[in-house]
């Protein structure tokens, strides 16, 4: 993929960038995360292509996910829709006009999770369509869709939802789950409401058409009581802490910070982050015009249960008007002007050049150009004939690539003048984006099957981390700060590649061959059994009383993968018959050893197999020669 083009119009946290106006009719979502096999079909196009992080999602676009796959789409107001595995979804309507937002998502199959911001206008609506049902939402988070058998199902963690089927309306509140049964809805108060894993278990229960409604609800409640007990225990034992947000903010993004014990997963805006015990940081953002309340429920996952561990709120307002006193007031009676356009695109040159004119006869005049903390020298004595020019280098290394305006200050006998130059700084340009991101390998645990890397040298920009296993893409996600990424490893020995790219295409790559050796069951099978009796007549006088026989044994292991084996030892008493150690030498699961036997004697052979997960399995072969 072309990282540079993917990032060209991406704002902080890879969210949506739309014009700063209430009258923008055309709107779109942005893909924030992709896991597994996800494809998209654009409006009026019949071909399915891979969906990438940073892609725009427009009206009539469709997204399809396969098994163990997911796509998270961010909408202009900060809402998110997560298309879960084995789902097909069409974004039927995405419109934002004069402060009114309308969105309709058609779930053709499967399920979606949603985290919807409160709608500020009464005319705004956020709806889901699934089969014959329509659900209207005004600020809530939960799950909606159909089961594998096409049964309508919805489950809310917070908020309210109104679902309608053939004119029949049902209200759903936070902590409730609803599903269709025969011709009616069944609404249940469940501690597990809003939990996708539990809803998938419920999917399997609803697929049994032979079970009565009474028995079904009884089974659901029993399982939910078990869930509730585990949930309560998790709440009591897991202590997570998140910083409160300011009451009011004036930027269309906010940074959420908190800590949780290592191993706990935290979900924010439908995205799961695994805690390492260090500070967790997440920066959601939205369209600059999307003013109003912003809520960010934080969900903690401990094993197979989840619970709300923080409920963060703030109010986004437009910034106060600070431009009046600094606006461009170039009155005709002041002999000073800026000849440079009042809006500059900064890219290939990596610099802003500002030019203008002033009265050269004014010996008392001063002229300065300011950008961030930088102030130029007085340009009046440095300029000939009243014409001035000044160039400022702009880059991440100069720590000034987030500045929005350069200011020209002129002070002369005829008065004082401030002129602002709008800077459109393109962070995807190589001349501006100079700092290369870094990847550092942190740890691996072959028993827990985990590996962690850290992403470093990321400041005031967004980078994409791509992960591959055996040259097959696994996952793409973004980071807007230095952070950690933990990956679940696949059983066995595999080649893993991490690649981090910034907006200009600068990248760092890390390759590791890593093993995953969980607590698996293994055994040893011995040809002709553990006890073998051989009837061999004594040899003639003068002939050796020893003879050889082949001992054949096989190691039974999941997936028939010999990389799980660390060592194989075969001993006959104090005599070693076979010693194999290391993955480079152990490539077979079937082995043959020549064993020396004696007429009229019993011989015992010991076989030991040590697995890389620390387990040792033993077997004994006994030969009796008569």
**142 lies in the same domain as 28:** yes
486 or 132, which is more confident? 486
> Tokens for 335?
């002999």
Range of the domain at 117: 3-230
DSSP H or E run through 298: strand 292-302
Q: What is the DSSP string of 159-204?
A: SEEEEEETTEEEEEETTEEEEEETTEEEEEE-TTTT-HHHHHHHHH
In a domain, 409, yes or no: yes
Q: For the domain that residue 379 is a member of, what is the CATH number?
A: 2.60.40.10
Q: Give the range with max mean pLDDT: 28-37, 317-326, 580-589.
A: 28-37
Give yes or no for residue 44 having a pLDDT over 70: no
pLDDT score, position 12: 30
Q: Which of 219-233, 312-326, 350-364, 564-578 has the lowest mean pLDDT?
A: 312-326
Cα distances (Å, whole numbers) of residue 226 to 124, 192, 274, 306, 402: 40, 10, 25, 13, 51
- Provide the CA 267 distance to its chain's centre, in angstroms: 10
pLDDT score, position 502: 93
pLDDT class of 94 with cuts at 50, 70, 90:
confident
**221 lies in the same domain as 360:** no
Q: Give the range with max mean pLDDT: 110-114, 323-327, 356-360, 540-544.
A: 110-114
The sheet that has 565-572: what strands, in order across it? 531-534, 616-625, 602-611, 565-572, 575-581
**3-state SS class at 215:** helix
In a domain, 322, yes or no: no
How many CA atoms lie less than 13 Å away from 65 in the CB half-sphere? Answer: 25
Give yes or no for residue 491 having a pLDDT over 60: yes
The answer to whether 63 and 56 are in contact (CB under 8 A) is no
Mean pLDDT on 498-521: 92
> Tokens for 306?
């989840």
**22 lies in the same domain as 149:** yes
In a domain, 413, yes or no: yes
Mean pLDDT on 322-346: 62
Q: Give the range with max mean pLDDT: 310-319, 363-372, 437-446.
A: 437-446
How many CA atoms lie less than 13 Å away from 70 in the CB half-sphere? Answer: 20
**37 lies in the same domain as 186:** yes
Q: Which of 254-263, 461-470, 539-548, 585-594 has the lowest mean pLDDT?
A: 539-548
pLDDT score, position 6: 38
Q: Which of 45-54, 220-229, 460-469, 563-572 has the lowest mean pLDDT?
A: 45-54
Tell the burial category of 63 from Cβ atoms under 10 Å away from its Cβ (0-12, 13-18, 19+): buried
Mean pLDDT on 104-131: 84
pLDDT score, position 26: 55
In a domain, 573, yes or no: yes
Give yes or no for residue 77 having a pLDDT over 50: yes
Calpha distance 258→247 (Å, rounded):
18
In a domain, 516, yes or no: no
In a domain, 454, yes or no: no
Mean pLDDT on 448-459: 92
| Domain boundary residue, one of 196, 214, 230 | 230
Which residue(s) pair with 242 in the sheet? 258
pLDDT score, position 455: 94
Q: What is the pLDDT of residues 380-394, one digit of tens each?
A: 888 888 889 999 999
The answer to whether 500 and 463 are in contact (CB under 8 A) is yes
| Domain boundary residue, one of 375, 404, 425 | 425
**418 lies in the same domain as 527:** no
In a domain, 205, yes or no: yes
Give yes or no for residue 508 having a pLDDT over 90: yes
**411 lies in the same domain as 527:** no
**3-state SS class at 584:** coil
The answer to whether 126 and 89 are in contact (CB under 8 A) is no
Mean pLDDT on 409-413: 85
Number of domains in the chain: 3
Give yes or no for residue 7 having a pLDDT over 70: no
pLDDT class of 281 with cuts at 50, 70, 90:
confident
**DSSP E strands: which ranges in 321-461?**
336-338, 343-346, 351-358, 366-371, 374-375, 387-393, 405-412, 415-425, 438-445, 450-456
pLDDT score, position 352: 92
**25 lies in the same domain as 172:** yes
- HEC string of 123-170? CCEEEEEECCEEEEECCEEEEEEECCCCCEEEEEEECEEEEEECCEEE
User: How high does pLDDT run on average in the chain?
Assistant: 85
Could you give the angle at the alpha carbon of 624 between the alpha carbons of 620 and 626, nearest 5°? 175
The answer to whether 379 and 369 are in contact (CB under 8 A) is yes
The answer to whether 63 and 35 are in contact (CB under 8 A) is no
**If we measure between CA atoms, which residue out of 470, 479, 592, 461 comes closest to residue 526?**
592
In a domain, 225, yes or no: yes
Close Cβ partners of 90 (under 8 Å, ≥ 6 residues apart) = 60, 61, 62, 105, 106, 108
| Domain boundary residue, one of 380, 408, 425 | 425
Count the Cβ atoms, other than its own, within 10 Å of residue 443. Answer: 12
The sheet that has 280-282: what strands, in order across it? 241-242, 256-259, 280-282
Instruction: Provide the terminal-to-terminal Cα distance of the chain, rounded to the nearest Å.
Output: 72
Calpha distance 529→612 (Å, rounded):
26
The answer to whether 565 and 555 are in contact (CB under 8 A) is yes
> Tokens for 447?
């028993």
Tokens 């990438």 correspond to what residue? 52
Calpha distance 424→402 (Å, rounded):
10
**529 lies in the same domain as 409:** no
* Alpha-helix runs per DSSP H in 465-582: none
**419 lies in the same domain as 527:** no
**107 lies in the same domain as 216:** yes
pLDDT score, position 21: 38
Mean pLDDT on 161-177: 86
Cα distances (Å, whole numbers) of residue 205 to 181, 211, 508: 12, 9, 47
**If we measure between CA atoms, which residue out of 486, 508, 485, 510 comes closest to residue 497?**
510
pLDDT class of 96 with cuts at 50, 70, 90:
low
Calpha distance 396→447 (Å, rounded):
41
pLDDT score, position 98: 58
Q: For the domain that residue 112 is a member of, what is the CATH number?
A: 2.60.120.1440
pLDDT score, position 15: 34
**419 lies in the same domain as 543:** no
> Tokens for 140?
């809530």
Mean pLDDT on 354-381: 88
**165 lies in the same domain as 41:** yes
Calpha distance 380→181 (Å, rounded):
82
């Amino acid at each position: 993929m072309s990282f540079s083009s993917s990032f060209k119009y991406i704002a902080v946290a890879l969210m949506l960038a739309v014009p700063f106006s209430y009258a923008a009719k055309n709107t779109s979502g942005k893909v924030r995360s992709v896991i597994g096999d996800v494809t998209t079909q654009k409006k009026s196009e019949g071909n399915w292509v891979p969906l990438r992080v940073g892609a725009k999602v427009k009206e009539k676009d469709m997204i399809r996910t396969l098994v163990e796959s997911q796509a998270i789409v961010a909408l202009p107001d900060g809402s998110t829709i997560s298309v879960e595995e084995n789902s097909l979804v069409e974004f039927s309507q995405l419109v934002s006009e004069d402060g009114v937002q309308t969105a309709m998502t058609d779930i053709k199959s499967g399920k979606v999770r949603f985290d919807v911001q409160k709608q500020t206008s009464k005319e705004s609506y956020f709806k889901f369509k699934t089969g014959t049902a329509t659900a209207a939402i005004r600020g809530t988070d939960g799950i909606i869709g159909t089961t594998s058998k096409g049964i309508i199902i919805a489950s809310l963690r917070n908020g309210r939802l109104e679902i309608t089927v053939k004119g029949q309306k049902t209200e759903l509140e936070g902590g409730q789950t609803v599903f269709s049964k025969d011709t009616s809805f069944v609404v249940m108060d469940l501690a597990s409401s809003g939990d996708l894993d539990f809803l998938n278990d419920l999917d399997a229960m609803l697929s049994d058409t032979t079970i009565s409604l009474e028995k079904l609800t009884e089974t659901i409640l029993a399982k939910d009581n078990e869930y509730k007990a585990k949930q309560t225990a998790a709440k009591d034992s897991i202590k997570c802490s998140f910083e409160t947000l300011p009451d009011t903010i004036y930027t269309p993004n906010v940074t959420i910070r908190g800590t949780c014990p290592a191993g706990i997963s935290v979900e924010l805006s439908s995205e799961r982050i695994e805690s390492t015990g260090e500070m967790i940081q997440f920066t959601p953002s939205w369209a600059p015009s999307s003013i109003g309340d912003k809520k960010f429920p934080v969900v903690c996952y401990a094993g197979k249960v989840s619970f709300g561990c923080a409920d963060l709120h703030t109010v986004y307002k437009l910034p106060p008007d600070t431009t009046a006193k600094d606006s461009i007031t170039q009155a005709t009676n002041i002999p000073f002007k800026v000849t440079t356009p009042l809006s500059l695109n900064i890219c290939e040159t990596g610099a802003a050049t500002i030019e203008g004119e002033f009265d050269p006869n004014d010996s008392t005049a001063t002229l300065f150009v300011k950008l961030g903390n930088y102030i130029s020298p007085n340009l009046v004595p440095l300029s000939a004939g009243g014409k001035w020019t000044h160039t400022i280098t702009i880059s991440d290394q100069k720590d000034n690539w987030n500045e929005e305006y350069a200011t020209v200050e002129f002070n002369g006998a005829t008065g004082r003048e401030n002129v602002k130059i709008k800077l459109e700084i393109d962070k995807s340009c190589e001349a501006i984006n100079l700092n290369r991101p870094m990847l550092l390998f942190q740890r691996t645990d072959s028993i827990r099957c985990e590996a962690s890397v850290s992403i470093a040298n990321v400041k005031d920009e967004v980078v994409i981390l791509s992960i591959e296993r055996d040259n097959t893409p696994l996952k793409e996600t973004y980071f807007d700060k230095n952070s950690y990424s933990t990956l679940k490893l696949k059983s066995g020995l595999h080649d893993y590649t991490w690649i981090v790219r910034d907006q200009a295409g600068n990248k760092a790559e890390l390759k590791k061959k890593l093993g995953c050796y969980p607590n698996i069951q293994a055994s040893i099978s011995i040809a002709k059994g553990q006890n073998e009796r051989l009837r061999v007549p004594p040899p003639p006088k003068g002939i050796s009383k020893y003879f050889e026989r082949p001992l054949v044994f096989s190691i039974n292991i999941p997936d028939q993968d010999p990389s799980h084996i660390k060592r194989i030892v075969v001993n006959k008493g104090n005599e070693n018959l076979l010693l194999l150690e290391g993955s480079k030498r152990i490539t077979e699961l079937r082995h043959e050893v020549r064993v020396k036997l004696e007429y009229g004697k019993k011989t015992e052979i010991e076989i030991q197999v040590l697995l890389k997960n620390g387990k040792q399995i033993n077997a004994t072969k006994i030969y009796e020669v008569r």
